Chain A
Amino acid sequence: MAIDVNRGAQSPVGPSAFSKPGAREARILSMGGGKGGVGKTFMTANLALALARMGLRVVAVDADLEGANLHTCLGVRTPRNSLADFVAQREDDLVKLLVPTHHPNLQIIAGTHANLAEAQPGHLRRVSLMRALRKLPADIVLLDLGAGSHAAVLDYFLVADDGLLVVQPEPTSVENAYTFLRAAFYRRLRLAMVGHDVRSLVSQAMDQRNERGIRTPFDLLREIELIDPLEGRRFAETMRRFRPRIIINEVRTAEDVKLGFAISSVCRKYFGIEVDYLGYVNFDEAARQSVAARTPIIESREGSDAAIYLQRIAKKLAGASNGGEPVMDTVDAST
């Protein structure tokens, strides 16, 4: 497969051939969250089904090659072929990896059978994966990301039209969500910068204990403006365009519901980014049982609170993208 990385793009934040998808390109949503066990796969399975039920053609992709189980949540037996075949270059045609579910409009690409030694695709393979995902015969491609904040996960998150973050109302989950956001945000910013000096400044700032005392993106912006006002402008523009969306999972109280607003406020005031609070799903013992029963809760307990909230989120997702910009076409191959 030809790889055409748009190196040194003149204006990384401007529109490009790939950030303005043609009418038939699939919209990509990524489900991340930093921490394991917060409900990414549960959320992916249910939102994928909810979107499919709304009449959209949906492909749910298990990009968590190290802990693949999306297929199980959707009641699909371990498929013979999976994304691992694409990553290992045994198969270049993603369409051949599609597996039907018993739900109309919903197909999956599983993440099983990965040779864990090669579970992380190299950068170029990630780029071609992203291109191929957009070309799938679907309206929406929903990527279930693994835990952690390593480069591949961050890129899947950044390249998506919408990066979704699942957070539980627990200190550990909130903390990991910030770690993840921060890592993704700085990666995005660094990729947007053209000049070498400015890039290395961003890299320095990624270390929170940097010597220059740069604590927040606002500090960094000031430093960059001193070096090069045009890069500063580009930086500010990138900040504006980085618009992840959060979902609070396992909400038990009204306080938990408000956590979403609090996180979004902190993101504004501290990181200078707009985080859209997409919605919340209440804690429900049946949610855990639904995973065991290998049936999404919106199917097994239709009409339950959790199902109602999940469908509400799906409706919002189907409504519109949040204005963020995909990024992979601006990624240069050296990273």
Chain B
Amino acid sequence: MNGDGVDIGDRPLTQDLKALPDQDHYEVLEIGRNADSEEIERAYALTRAAYSSEGLAVYSVYDEQDTSAIRDRVEEAFRVLSNADTRRAYDEKVAEPEGPISAGVQTPPSPLTNPREETLLEAGLLDVESIGNPESDIEEESGDFDGAKLRRARLRRGFELEQIADITKIGAAHLRRIEDEEFADLPANVYVRGFVTAYATTIGLEPERVVAGYMARVEAARAQPRSRFRYRS
């Protein structure tokens, strides 16, 4: 029944969306058939969070029975796809010759053209687990840290200033001044040192790599009298 005179247009459209009962494990997790194990884990974490019973996105659409059914499907999909053997068996089972309906379906996008992955990457959330695990290895620029570089490191790790403020109990305004290098509005050096140490630790940077370079900037700026006075309009 494909292609009976309906113009699909020249822009690529996604495949037909299916109701949950008709979805296979890949569709339940919203991933392509070539998804690697990392992608599967990320998708699982996101989907599980989305359909948790407190999920902000679900409560006004689904009742608890619905979300619980979806969670079961998500768990089942992850159980099967996260294990290489069960996944292979599943793939073989569903790999019957494609019917005419799916004949026009494009091959699944590669990980980096997947919009969800792209947004995660930009948000610094590509490694979802790294939010709770600041130790994870994120490639860092070399050289001393200034405010802008701290900000970039923070954004790459998906932290908002308010989150760091919550964790460190340092006011977000101070944290922002650290990034903006508004040294005149920051307290004495000893405090700034403490702030920067806490900031770095929170986002998963080793303080030793950050503090000395940053403090050198603070001290240099403060050694010049004119920078003591900063007029705020």
Binding site for B on A (CB under 8 A): 11, 13-15, 169, 171, 174-175, 178, 216, 218, 229-230, 233-234, 236-237, 239-241, 251-255, 257-266, 268-270, 272-274, 276-277, 279-280, 282-283, 303, 305, 308, 312, 321, 323, 325
CB of A233 within 8 A of CB of B158, answer no
Measured between alpha carbons, how far is A28 from B11 in the docked complex, in Å? 17
Measured between alpha carbons, how far is A261 from B117 in the docked complex, in Å? 10
Query: Which A residues are CB-close (under 8 A) to B12?
Result: 323
CB of A263 within 8 A of CB of B119, answer no
CB of B115 within 8 A of CB of A277, answer yes
CB of A266 within 8 A of CB of B59, answer no
Query: Which A residues are CB-close (under 8 A) to B159?
Result: 254
Query: Which A residues are CB-close (under 8 A) to B160?
Result: 251-254, 282-283, 305
Q: Which of B1, B6, B151 is A13 in contact with, Cβ under 8 Å? A: B6
Q: Which residue of A lies closest to B66 (CB)?
A: A270
B100 at interface by CB-CB < 8 Å: no
CB of A237 within 8 A of CB of B6, answer yes
Query: Which A residues are CB-close (under 8 A) to B90?
Result: none
Distance in Å from the Cβ of A223 to the closest Cβ of chain B? 13
In the complex with contacts A262-B46, A265-B47, A266-B50, A274-B14 CB distance below 8 A: yes
Binding site for A on B (CB under 8 A): 1, 4-9, 11-14, 16-20, 23, 30, 46-47, 49-51, 55-62, 70, 115-116, 119, 122-123, 125, 131, 151, 155, 158-163, 180
CB of B14 within 8 A of CB of A240, answer yes
Q: Which residue of B lies closest to A282 (CB)?
A: B160
Q: Which of B17, B46, B62 is A258 in contact with, Cβ under 8 Å? A: B46
In the complex with contacts A11-B6, A268-B17, A277-B115, A253-B56 CB distance below 8 A: no
Query: Which B residues are CB-close (under 8 A) to A233?
Result: 1, 4, 6
Q: Which of A11, A216, A264, A266 is B58 in contact with, Cβ under 8 Å? A: A266
Counting residue pairs across A and B whose Cβ atoms lie within 8 Å, the total is 124
Query: Which A residues are CB-close (under 8 A) to B1?
Result: 229, 233
Query: Which A residues are CB-close (under 8 A) to B9?
Result: 15, 241, 323, 325
CB of A171 within 8 A of CB of B70, answer no
Distance in Å from the Cβ of A280 to the closest Cβ of chain B? 7
CB of B7 within 8 A of CB of A169, answer no
Distance in Å from the Cβ of B1 to the closest Cβ of chain A? 7
Measured between alpha carbons, how far is A263 from B13 in the docked complex, in Å? 19
Query: Which B residues are CB-close (under 8 A) to A265?
Result: 30, 46-47, 50-51, 57
CB of B125 within 8 A of CB of A268, answer no
Measured between alpha carbons, how far is A113 from B34 in the docked complex, in Å? 56
Q: Which residue of B lies closest to A232 (CB)?
A: B1
CB of B61 within 8 A of CB of A262, answer no
CB of B56 within 8 A of CB of A272, answer no
CB of B155 within 8 A of CB of A262, answer no
CB of B60 within 8 A of CB of A171, answer yes
Q: Which of A175, A236, A252, A270 is B16 in contact with, Cβ under 8 Å? A: A236
Measured between alpha carbons, how far is A329 from B16 in the docked complex, in Å? 25
Query: Which A residues are CB-close (under 8 A) to B46?
Result: 258, 261-262, 265
Measured between alpha carbons, how far is A279 from B13 in the docked complex, in Å? 20
CB of A277 within 8 A of CB of B116, answer yes
Q: Which residue of A lies closest to B70 (CB)?
A: A269
Distance in Å from the Cβ of A85 to the closest Cβ of chain B? 36
Given A174-B60, A277-B116, 11 new contacts (CB under 8 A):
A171-B56, A178-B60, A216-B19, A257-B123, A257-B125, A262-B46, A264-B116, A265-B50, A269-B70, A272-B19, A274-B14
Q: Which residue of B lies closest to A277 (CB)?
A: B119
Q: Which of B11, B30, B122, B125 is A254 in contact with, Cβ under 8 Å? A: B125
Distance in Å from the Cβ of B82 to the closest Cβ of chain A? 19
Query: Which A residues are CB-close (under 8 A) to B122?
Result: 279, 312
Residue from A174, A216, A265, A282 whose CB has the most chain B CB atoms within 10 Å: A265
Distance in Å from the Cβ of B62 to the closest Cβ of chain A? 7
Query: Which A residues are CB-close (under 8 A) to B57?
Result: 174, 259, 262-263, 265-266
Measured between alpha carbons, how far is A277 from B123 in the docked complex, in Å? 12
Measured between alpha carbons, how far is A269 from B61 in the docked complex, in Å? 11
Distance in Å from the Cβ of A185 to the closest Cβ of chain B? 13
Q: Could you jot down 16 A-B contacts, CB within 8 Å?
A: A13-B6, A216-B19, A230-B4, A236-B16, A252-B160, A252-B163, A254-B131, A257-B158, A264-B116, A265-B46, A265-B57, A266-B62, A274-B14, A283-B160, A321-B11, A323-B13
Measured between alpha carbons, how far is A260 from B56 in the docked complex, in Å? 10
Q: Which of B6, B56, B163 is A262 in contact with, Cβ under 8 Å? A: B56
CB of A15 within 8 A of CB of B50, answer no
